[in-house]
Amino acid sequence: MVTLTINGKLVRAREGEMLLDAIRREGIEIPATCQHEAVEPYGACRLCTVEITKADWGGWKNHVTSCLYPVQEGLIVSTHSEDVIRIRKTILDLFLARCPNAELIQNMAAEYGITRTSYEEVPDGNDCILCGLCTRVCDKMGFQAISTVGRGHGKEVAPPLGEAPPDCVGCLACAQICPTNYIKFTDDGTTRTIWGREFELVKCETTGQPTITKEFAAYLVKHRNIPEDYFTRCDSAHREELAKTMGRITHWGRQEEA
Amino acid sequence: MCITSSRQLKQVRKEFLDGDARFEKKVMICCGTGCLANGAQEIVDEFDSILRKKRIKGFTIEAVRSTGCHGFCEQGPLVIIEPRGTFYTKVKVKDVADIIEKSIRSDEVIDKHLYTDPATKQKIERYPDVAFFSHQQRIALRNLGKIAPHNIKDYIANGGYQSLAKVLTTMTPDDVITEVSKSGLRGRGGGGFSAGRKWRSCADVESDTHYVICNGDEGDPGAFMDRSIMEGDPHSVLEGLAIAAYAVGAKEGFVYVRDEYPLAVVHMQKAIEDCRKEGLLGENIFETNFCFDVHIARGAGAFVCGESSALMKSVAGEVGEPRAKYVRSVVKGLHDQPTVLNNVETFANIPIIFEKGADWYAGIGTKKSTGTKVFSLVGKVRNTGLIEVPMGITLRQIIFDIGGGIIDDRPFKAVQTGGPSGGCLPESKLDLPVDFDSLTENGSMMGSGGMIVMDDRTCMVDVAKYFTDFLVKESCGKCVPCREGLYQLHKLLVKISEGRGEESDIDRMEQLSEVIVNASLCGLGQSGPNPLLSTLKYFRDEYTAHIRDKRCPAGVCRELITYNITDECTGCMACISACAYHAITGQKKKVHVIDQEKCTKCGACVAACRFNTIDVR
Ligand SMILES: Cc1cc2nc3c(=O)[nH]c(=O)nc-3n(C[C@H](O)[C@H](O)[C@H](O)COP(=O)(O)O)c2cc1C
Ligand code: SF4
Ligand code: SF4
Ligand code: FES
């Protein structure tokens, strides 16, 4: 265990834990859009920036992103210093110029007193905040069906070559993790469409309830040692389980590889 | 054959030099990318075809060497005749027969190929007397233009691989690191971090696997020192890399070369293969326990891929995006193993440090920035090209002594150093010593050694806009302050250059810059506002002129200038036909007039006017 100070209060945290987790445990709210427990920290939005110093740093301070900064003994953290608030406000202001209609950003900005961007709105802005959660979760599932393409201001999330992604199995992990609901899909109980592809759903042999897509089922049977008939049985609890954390499935895979 | 000792290296050297002693003269033809583009290969071929037909005493095609870049590309193709060092510029295929006849068969110097000093208008025969070369001190570039890069024996004949032999057979890894630290060598890729310290931190990490990587991404547009070294002296890089590998305990190394450098890839690859053949790479090098091999990794050509963590991802086959470096790459780098990454020029300095000693190296340059630095000098100077100078030399010496001053003797306005995220320094800083710390203290940086000289017709708002735009496009786009912040900075700069600027915009840009610097993930974002901040610092008046007076003092920003014909107009009508927009009217021998409604400010009339009577402001 290590001991550190957060906003003046002595706090204990587990070695190797990230600052953001320790901060949240204290009930302190700071915005963080690219962080999610299902995937590794990424450090893209910079909203979770906090100020750190140590008693022996001679007054020197640093700004770090708490989502991927490991806790350290004797660290003194301020989550809402003047500089940090200025950074956060500026980032939210910049975000609003690109994604003026994204509710998540609107709400976060409102908390910091911003309702309209003070910058020039980006002409072809949309709701994608480029948090990279979708591509990271897709990678983690083992599909790597979508990725970020391009660089600079024109970077976007897309399937390879902008075509229907051949490696996508229609699991919806990306759409479910997307914090701004930018990734659109349809599902009528028989077919599901996402990223311009159509998937047929497996149905429960007894109730006729849809479970998951055929491609996803085939993948899990092949790569994760799941019994072939597993998805032809409908069980609301087990379905809920599946939908809730896709990360678990990866976890099974890990054990299998180990 | 396998070279297994320093004695055998000496034997190779002796054989090579004995072979060379047959020749009364040698011809060095620059075959760097610049000279090749101007036909250097055809010149080599012409020598070959003439010498096949004609026998000359004490001279054969073997005495004709295709060398690496001399740095004076604008004068190329360059042909140098040794031992006198007669220096021929802008040589063409049709000149070769004449050169062989006059300057090789006899000792005649052909005046018309000689270089004319732009300041004194004197012809200069020998290249060491040319001002562009005489003020330089070549250490990293020591072999460029002197040896044939594809011939390992030529490198060995010039003392090559003796340092590696010495290091492997007489020094411990710890000694090696101490020596590099003592030399004071700092990384030449931009940050100026102590090489010795970096090697020490990596060597100290316990792990079965360590890696060494050479950064040859060189994403800085206009810079070509790393390319020239990899093309012109690849073995010095490999030797430096091998010494680093021994020091930190690496068995595998990579040279990361940007994809736009095909010749560098070919020469590096040839050098690696030759080393493997000679036993200088592979198992038990110099009959020691040291085993080391090198591979080439080809970069995708993105500026940001030169950043250390992005580069390592790219080498590992992932998307070249930087990651946060709260754990440093000397601890967790390539494949999460301890890794040393240094720049091409940094590695090229290593062998000579062991040849001549750390004290010798530390005696060059300044106390805190030892050694030399290679710059690519471009822009409005008379002599442009690749130069190597001791640290601590002043900007004035570089620009006026080596560069020969400003073209057409126009006034100097600024020099931009450090690549796209560097800064601009004004005339008052011309006597600044060029070293890592003073450049940074003055709002610019060393970067990889780009140096762009600007004259009075350069608009500093326009310059800031240009570089910011480059960075907006080259940012990897991962983090918000850099991706969105630089984009908005650029928008504000466009607004000002178009005459829509407001007084408050300067404050806004400064505040936004501060957040970009403090909150960005990697060095690109953290230094991204530099072009803006440095021009604001030294040329604030120019910003105010654009904003308050809606005027571009340098006459560059289209929306803020008008073209007018003065009373000195001779009425020659040249401009009338030059204007594609029919904006100029007038009669012969009467002063012409520009219709401001029709004028698009394309500048065609200025180019057409022989009497300099078109006023732009
Ligand atoms: C955006 C960016 C681009 C960079 N590009 C290069 C490059 O092209 N070549 C290079 O050697 N270093 C480059 N660097 C610096 C590297 O990250 C790294 O510091 C350097 O290669 C270390 O070698 P050195 O210590 O020998 O300089 C770049 C850094 C940043 C932030
Ligand atoms: S689509 Fe959604 S999850 Fe993916 S990067 Fe954009 S906002 Fe993030
Ligand atoms: S600072 Fe720019 S280049 Fe660096 S990680 Fe952020 S977006 Fe990418
Ligand atoms: S949550 Fe930490 S950078 Fe986005």
Asked if A47 and A33 touch (Cβ cutoff 8 Å), the reply is yes
Among the partner-chain residues A46, A151, A152, the one whose CB lies closest to the CB of B480 is A46
Q: Whose CA is nearest to atom 8 of ligand 2?
A: A131
Q: In this predicted structure, what is the pLDDT of residue B191?
A: 86
Asked if B389 and B373 touch (Cβ cutoff 8 Å), the reply is yes
User: Which residue has 């340059």 as its token pair?
Assistant: B365
Residues B290 and B415 in one domain: no
Single-letter amino acid code for the residue at A180: T
CATH code of the domain covering residue A103: 3.10.20.740
Helix pair B173-183, B195-203: axis angle to 10 deg? 160
Residues B240 and B107 in one domain: no
CATH code of the domain covering residue B599: 3.30.70.20
Residues of B with CB under 8 A from a CB of A: 302, 304, 319, 323-324, 326, 472-481, 483-488, 491, 508, 511-512, 515, 518-521
Residues A104 and A137 in one domain: no
Mean pLDDT computed over B13-23: 94
Residues A107 and A185 in one domain: no
DSSP labels, chain A: -EEEEETTEEEEE-TT-BHHHHHHHTT-----SS--TTS-----S-TTEEEEEEGGGTT--EEEEGGG-B--TTEEEESS-HHHHHHHHHHHHHHHHH-TT-HHHHHHHHHTT-SS-SSPPPTT--S-----HHHHHHHHHT----EEES-GGG-EEE-GGGSPPTT-----HHHHH-TT--S-EEE-SSEEEETTEEEEEEE-TTT--EEEEHHHHHHHHHHS---GGGGGS--HHHHHHHHH-THHHHHHHHHHH-
Instruction: Tell which one of B307, B522, B530 to mutate to probe ligand 3, the residue whose CB is within 8 A of the most ligand atoms.
Output: B522
Residues B412 and B472 in one domain: no
Residues B159 and B303 in one domain: yes
Residues A82 and A180 in one domain: no
Residues B468 and B423 in one domain: no
Q: Do A43 and B472 touch (CB under 8 A)?
A: no
Q: pLDDT by residue (tens digit) across A232-249?
A: 766 665 655 566 555 555
B311 domain residue, yes or no: yes
A194 domain residue, yes or no: yes
A53 touches chain B (CB under 8 A): no
Nearest alpha-carbon partner for A110 in A126, A131, A129, A95: A95
Residues A102 and A164 in one domain: no
Is the per-residue pLDDT at A253 higher than 80? no
Within 6 Å (CB) of ligand 3, which residues are found?
A: B 304, 322, 475-479, 482-483, 520-522, 524-525
CATH code of the domain covering residue B443: 3.10.20.600
So what's the ipTM on this one?
0.88
Q: Whose CA is nearest to atom 6 of ligand 1?
A: B306
Q: Do A151 and B477 touch (CB under 8 A)?
A: yes
Domain boundary among B362, B391, B410: B362
Residues B195 and B338 in one domain: yes
Q: What is the DSSP letter of B484?
A: I
Q: Is B599 helix (H, G, I), strand (E, B) or coil?
A: coil
Domain boundary among B513, B548, B583: B548
Q: Do B520 and A68 touch (CB under 8 A)?
A: no
Residues A34 and A101 in one domain: yes
Q: How far is the C-alpha of B245 from the C-alpha of B250, rounded, in Å?
A: 5
Domain tally, chain A: 2
Q: Do B479 and A43 touch (CB under 8 A)?
A: yes
DSSP labels, B99-125: HIIIIIIS----GGGSEEPTTT--EE-
Among the partner-chain residues A86, A95, A153, the one whose CB lies closest to the CB of B515 is A86
Domain boundary among A111, A141, A171: A111
Domain boundary among B455, B478, B500: B455
Angle B402-B406-B412 from CA coordinates, rounded to 5°? 115
Atom of ligand 1 nearest to the CA of B308: 17
Pairs of CB atoms within 8 A across A/B = 102
What's the whole-model pTM score? 0.91
Q: Do A86 and B479 touch (CB under 8 A)?
A: no
Length of chain A: 258
Mean pLDDT computed over B198-213: 97
Residues A94 and A187 in one domain: no
Is the per-residue pLDDT at B21 higher than 50? yes
Q: In this predicted structure, what is the pLDDT of residue B1?
A: 66
Question: What percentage of chain B exceeds 90 in pLDDT?
Answer: 90
Based on the number of CB atoms within 10 Å of its own CB, is B267 exposed (0-12), middle (13-18) or buried (19 or more)? buried
Q: What's the domain range around A68?
A: 2-111
Among the partner-chain residues B476, B480, B511, the one whose CB lies closest to the CB of A91 is B480
A36 domain residue, yes or no: yes
Q: Which residues of A touch B481 (CB under 8 A)?
A: 46, 87, 90-91, 94
Q: Across chain B, what does the average pLDDT equal?
A: 94
Q: What's the domain range around B117?
A: 18-127
Is the per-residue pLDDT at B422 higher than 70? yes
Q: In this predicted structure, what is the pLDDT of residue A205?
A: 76
Mean pLDDT computed over B399-422: 94
Q: pLDDT by residue (tens digit) across B231-274?
A: 999 999 999 999 999 999 999 999 999 989 999 999 999 999 99
B260 domain residue, yes or no: yes
A213 touches chain B (CB under 8 A): no
Residues B265 and B320 in one domain: yes
Is the per-residue pLDDT at A84 higher than 90? yes
Is the per-residue pLDDT at B81 higher than 80? yes
Residues A81 and A141 in one domain: no
Q: pLDDT by residue (tens digit) across B428-480?
A: 999 999 999 999 999 999 998 999 999 999 999 999 999 999 999 999 999 99
Domain tally, chain B: 5
